[in-house]
Structure 1
Amino acid sequence: MNLVLGEISAWLWIDLVLVIILLWMLGTQLYWWYRGKKVAHIVESDEFKQGLRKGQVIDLRDSAEFGRSHILGARNMPFAQFKLYENALRKDAPVYLYDTTKAMPIRIAARLKKEGFNDIYILKGGYSKWDGKKKTKKI
């Protein structure tokens, strides 16, 4: 009888740990969603396209990825080196950010918002969701 109770207890602990991990993952997603809404407009590809001509399009991916392919007209400001480039951005023009994910653009948008930028847009789904014009390196 004690062996059965011990096994049930072990399975209960495993279930509890899995539930905690699941709640942590859900909480993290909700946090990034809320933070993104607070500091920038997260827009679909079509809305992103509409503002390209009047805004500053920033690719936050590393230089190698940017060199292979990027949105036509984008400037590369890798996330890891963004501090070096941020003074090159104008506060009076909208900023359009993209990367392969949504977390890095949200972090950069929060930084820009703190510096006084107001019109900040993030491409929902990142570069993989972009269906507009691209500049691709020919091999």
Structure 2
Amino acid sequence: MNNMTTNELEQTLQQDETIQLIDVRETDEYAGGHIKQAKNVPLSELTERTNELDPSRPLHVICLSGGRSMNAAMYLEQAGFDVTNVDGGMMSWEGNVTR
């Protein structure tokens, strides 16, 4: 599994706004502010919603601080995804957020 910082994620998003980014925080946390390109797939629903993700494209995973996204990334890697965990999560994110 790969890891990247939030600064690296922001640079990646500026270069390619079509990246597959999921936010595994719960729905209420996501509603409080999220990265525009992020799709909300709460960790508690991930196993049931994995089919919504494209296994042919790299996947980036973010949460609040990096713990839940690490768990999600380990699961998704075992499921065959090329996955990158975003270290530091939304607590480290300095870019724009959407509500």
Q: Is TM more than 0.5 here?
A: yes
Larger CA Rg, structure 1 vs 2: 1
Cα RMSD (Å) of the superposition?
Answer: 1.4
How many Å separate the matches in 2 of 1:131 and 1:106?
Answer: 20
- TM-score normalised by the chain length of structure 1: 0.63
Unaligned runs of 5+ in 1: 1-39
Q: In structure 2, do the counterparts of structure 1 residues 74 and 99 end up closer, same or farther at CA, with 3 Å as the change threshold?
A: same
Which amino acid is 1:42 matched to? Answer: N
Larger helix percent? 1
Q: What is the aligned length?
A: 96
Cα drift, residue 57 of structure 1: 0.9
- In the other structure, the counterpart of 1:46 is 7
Cα drift, residue 103 of structure 1: 2.1
Secondary structure at the aligned position of 2:84 is classed as strand
Note the 1:1-139 alignment, pairs <5 A: 40-52=1-13, 53-118=17-82, 120-136=83-99
Which amino acid is 2:24 matched to? Answer: L
| Partner deviation per Cα, 1:8-57 (whole Å, 9 max, x = no partner) | xxxxxxxxxxxxxxxxxxxxxxxxxxxxxxxx222112211233324211
Cα drift, residue 91 of structure 1: 1.2
Q: In structure 2, do the counterparts of structure 1 residues 90 and 111 end up closer, same or farther at CA, with 3 Å as the change threshold?
A: same
How many Å separate the matches in 1 of 2:95 and 2:66?
Answer: 18
Secondary structure at the aligned position of 1:135 is classed as coil
How many Å separate the matches in 2 of 1:50 and 1:87?
Answer: 28
Between 1 and 2, higher relative CO (CA 8 Å, sep ≥ 6) is seen in: 2
**Fraction of identical pairs, as percent:** 25
